[in-house]
Amino acid sequence: MKIDFSQGRITLVIVPFDLRFGYYRLAQISAELLHIDINKGQDYVVFISKKRSIAKIIYSDSKGNLLITRKLHQNKFQLLLARANGPAAEPLTVKELESYLDGEPLEIKRTSVLKG
């Protein structure tokens, strides 16, 4: 089996979750709160733990379900901010996902109007 993240949409759930949940509960949360049907095989959904040291990715295809757990040895996954009335999830590219799962920041704090 080979995982090719470019074959689907990647959604990062910005709100931290209790990651004691397994695949089926996370898939249910994806369906109910994000309106993403994992069983269609078109989406990867990334959840981050409350302490931001663990990430879980869920996916499903015609052969079965997939749950990947990534635990950082050092640092934490970046805390991403969102508007209170905006979506609780953010789409990512494959490159952004790989960087994020390595503990690198996706967003930087701007210090100038003209430059980062």
Contact (CB, 8 A) for 64 and 54: no
To the nearest whole number, what is the mean pLDDT of the chain? 86
Cβ–Cβ under 8 Å, residues 66 and 60: yes
Domain boundaries, the chain: 5-101
21-75 per-position pLDDT tens digit: 999 999 999 999 999 999 999 999 999 999 889 999 999 988 899 999 999 888 8
Taking the model in full, what pTM does it have? 0.83
